[in-house]
Chains A and B, each alone.
Chain A
Amino acid sequence: MTRAERIAEICASHRGREGPLLPILHDIQREFGCVDAEAERVIAHELNLSRAEVHGVVSFYHDFSAEPDPRPCIELCRAEACQARGVEELVASAEAAAGERVRLKPVYCLGLCSVGPAARIGDRLHARLNAAALVKLVQSA
């Protein structure tokens, strides 16, 4: 099966849903690590939308990316509650440990605001981080 056929199949699996675009984009992002121009073209064709409409949606949301990033990704909460618990002081050492190998992505709130600083790797959550714990997390990612 070609990539385009697989994307068409994903679109078909959501047929019958009201407003299926976001669930489709999530599936494609999960499977291919990105929603690129080719994917947008197939989705537009399958949903009878213009490519501009699909691209407008893809580019609006932070969760979808145009190119895959194969690096491991650590999402570090940088919102107010984690700032109050000192996350900003951990950033420099974490960035140094991450270098180019690990992607350190800021997020705004993981809902762990009473036990921050908090981070997420995939579906695994980490709380009460200090500089050493975060560096260890980065190194083992």
Chain B
Amino acid sequence: MTLVRISDDALALACGADAVAAAFVAAGCTVERVSSWGMHWLEPLAEIDGIGFGPLFPEDVAAVLAGTSDKWIGAIADHPFIKRQQRLTFARAGKTRPLSLADYAATDGWSALNRVKSLTSPEIVAEVTHSGLRGRGGAGFPAGIKWRTVLEAPGPRKYVVCNADEGDSGTFADRMLMEGDPFQLLEGMAIAAQAIGAQQGYIYVRSEYPHAINKLNAAIELASEHIAPFRVEVRVGAGAYVCGEETALLNSIEGKRGEVRAKPPLPAHEGLFGCPTVVHNVLTLAAIPHIMVPGGAGLYDSLGIDRSKGTMPIQLAGNIRHGGLFETAFGITLNELIHDIGGGTASGRPVKAVQVGGPLGAYIHPSQFDLPFDYEAYAGADALIGHGGVVVFDDTADMGALARFAFQFCAAESCGKCTPCRIGSTRGVELIDRIRTGGRDADAVEALAQMHNARKDRRSRAEDLQLLEDLCETMQFGSLCALGGFTPYPVRSALKHWPEDFA
């Protein structure tokens, strides 16, 4: 009987994987549901004896089985998109059944956790520090230093919190990992717990990811013996983007409004319920198991460039022909990512702009596409890597509208605690509208004699642009967290490179 492997990842399901799987079953095949390879333009992708076929519809199944299908893509492992990658965090992608403990153990699962059981906390922390691992959520803070801070912080209770509130548009690596390899995340959390002395962990998942929530809950039940005495609970978010900010996330778990906290105190000192807490993104925690195997830390440190060590799961999204998950060592350029690997735009039109790092990331102009993927290089170019999402836009994109959207999104999602973000975002929308429609005269209220300080004449475009710059500066330096603080990145970059779109 023919064994067919098809992903049960949410993206594959959205593209119709269940119907394709059912058609294979109806044709007498055995179907195994595995994680996704991350070649999203080929989903639903079926694998038979290592050979891939995709994207499939149920009516393609007969031809696939007869060996006459034009959806044949050859050996999946040799596909250029897979071959060019260096997969550590996503080493199991496409190869294992997400909730199979047997598959996990057969692919070196739990070996890192078993190894650290004979190590002391400072030894574990030293290895994580040596690996050079930095937080993958966006800020890029060294993980080892965070662990040491929590380890040394006094307190009877400590927590490990996984930030799985992946709200950035253009990112899906957390979702793919939670759905495709949930045990790896739990193993990473258990190692972190052992290192800092935590008994309880939480995974905060956004409510937009129902499949990930179900997989995690099932995985926690299956793996409870392996990670004991550590316990993990899934907490479901409630549609607030700002809860991806770590202090808002902690408030949300505590059952409060997802408002940002002022720092200090850092969560490492006073985090969840006031206790020392390690908060990490999914990808950071999932990197821990392969760092904590013998030689893993050294290997991680040897990859990447400068102070950006190891690999980054980059997510190719938006208007790109070959979108999907591309994990590689730091240092790759956007030219390689978009043209060599991604195959240009899906629409076939020229690339106009690329937004890296989610809704708060800068729009990058094609003239900067030789920038190496590296935290410091991006920061130097007034851009950010964020969570590694790369969203491609073709030449039909209206950058003025996208800049307005950045403010509008910030206004909708602001937690409201600090003024620059809460008020500034709304003023930003108004200001961009004014710039794009050629200014406005004083309104009825402003024209009143009592309004001494209100301006009576029309503002020039140059004055409005100056006002926008002032607003961006206020938001960048005056906001409590990255939501208000980074919204100026997409706005300023759009205005700088495509001023014609603001006319």
Residues of chain A with a CB closer than 8 A to B171's CB: 109, 111, 113
Residues of chain A with a CB closer than 8 A to B40's CB: 114-115
Binary B-proximity of A83-99 (CB < 8 A = 1, otherwise 0): 11100000000000000
> Is B480 part of the binding interface, using a Cβ–Cβ cutoff of 8 Å?
no
A-B CB contacts (within 8 Å), total count: 150
In contact, B14 and A115 (Cβ under 8 angstroms): yes
In contact, B315 and A114 (Cβ under 8 angstroms): yes
Binary B-proximity of A3-34 (CB < 8 A = 1, otherwise 0): 00000000000000111111101100000000
Residues of chain B with a CB closer than 8 A to A128's CB: 15
B323 touches which of A26, A113, A123 (Cβ 8 Å)? A113
> Is A57 part of the binding interface, using a Cβ–Cβ cutoff of 8 Å?
yes
> Is B256 part of the binding interface, using a Cβ–Cβ cutoff of 8 Å?
yes
A11–B257 Cα gap in the complex (Å)?
18
In contact, A19 and B391 (Cβ under 8 angstroms): no
Tell me how far the C-beta of A22 lies from the nearest C-beta in chain B, rounded to whole angstroms.
Answer: 6
Residues of chain A with a CB closer than 8 A to B158's CB: none
Interface set, chain B 236-276, CB cutoff 8 A to A = 236-241, 252-259, 273
Q: Which of B13, B15, B172, B255 has the most CB of A within 10 A?
A: B255
Residues of chain B with a CB closer than 8 A to A125's CB: 10-11, 13-14
Residues of chain A with a CB closer than 8 A to B409's CB: 79, 108
Which A-chain residue is minimally distant from B325 (CB atoms)? Answer: A114
Interface set, chain B 387-436, CB cutoff 8 A to A = 389, 391-394, 397, 402, 405, 409, 412-413, 415
Tell me how far the C-beta of A32 lies from the nearest C-beta in chain B, rounded to whole angstroms.
Answer: 16
Q: How many residues of chain B are within 8 Å of chain A by beta carbon? A: 62
Residues of chain B with a CB closer than 8 A to A102's CB: none
Identify which of B124-132, B142-150, B205-213 touches chain A: B205-213
Residues of chain A with a CB closer than 8 A to B259's CB: 60
Tell me how far the C-beta of A55 lies from the nearest C-beta in chain B, rounded to whole angstroms.
Answer: 10
In contact, B235 and A84 (Cβ under 8 angstroms): no
A115 touches which of B11, B239, B415 (Cβ 8 Å)? B11
In contact, A107 and B11 (Cβ under 8 angstroms): no
In contact, A108 and B317 (Cβ under 8 angstroms): no
A110–B317 Cα gap in the complex (Å)?
12
> Is A63 part of the binding interface, using a Cβ–Cβ cutoff of 8 Å?
yes
Residues of chain B with a CB closer than 8 A to A23's CB: 235-236
New A-B pairs, 13, CB < 8 Å, besides A60-B240, A80-B359: A26-B207, A60-B258, A79-B409, A108-B359, A111-B10, A111-B175, A114-B316, A114-B318, A114-B320, A125-B11, A125-B13, A125-B14, A127-B11
Per CB-CB distance, the 10 closest pairs between chain A and chain B, nearest first, are A114-B323, A21-B255, A79-B169, A62-B239, A113-B317, A61-B238, A84-B318, A125-B14, A127-B14, A63-B238
24 contacts across the A-B interface (CB closer than 8 A): A19-B273, A20-B255, A60-B240, A60-B258, A60-B259, A60-B415, A63-B238, A79-B170, A81-B318, A83-B405, A84-B317, A84-B318, A107-B208, A109-B166, A109-B170, A109-B171, A111-B10, A111-B166, A111-B171, A111-B175, A113-B389, A114-B40, A114-B318, A115-B11
Q: State the B residues within 8 Å of A (CB).
A: 10-11, 13-15, 40-41, 43, 166-172, 175, 200, 207-211, 233, 235-241, 252-259, 273, 315-320, 323-324, 346, 355, 359, 389, 391-394, 397, 402, 405, 409, 412-413, 415
Q: State the A residues within 8 Å of B (CB).
A: 17-23, 25-26, 56-57, 60-64, 79-85, 107-116, 118, 120, 123, 125-128
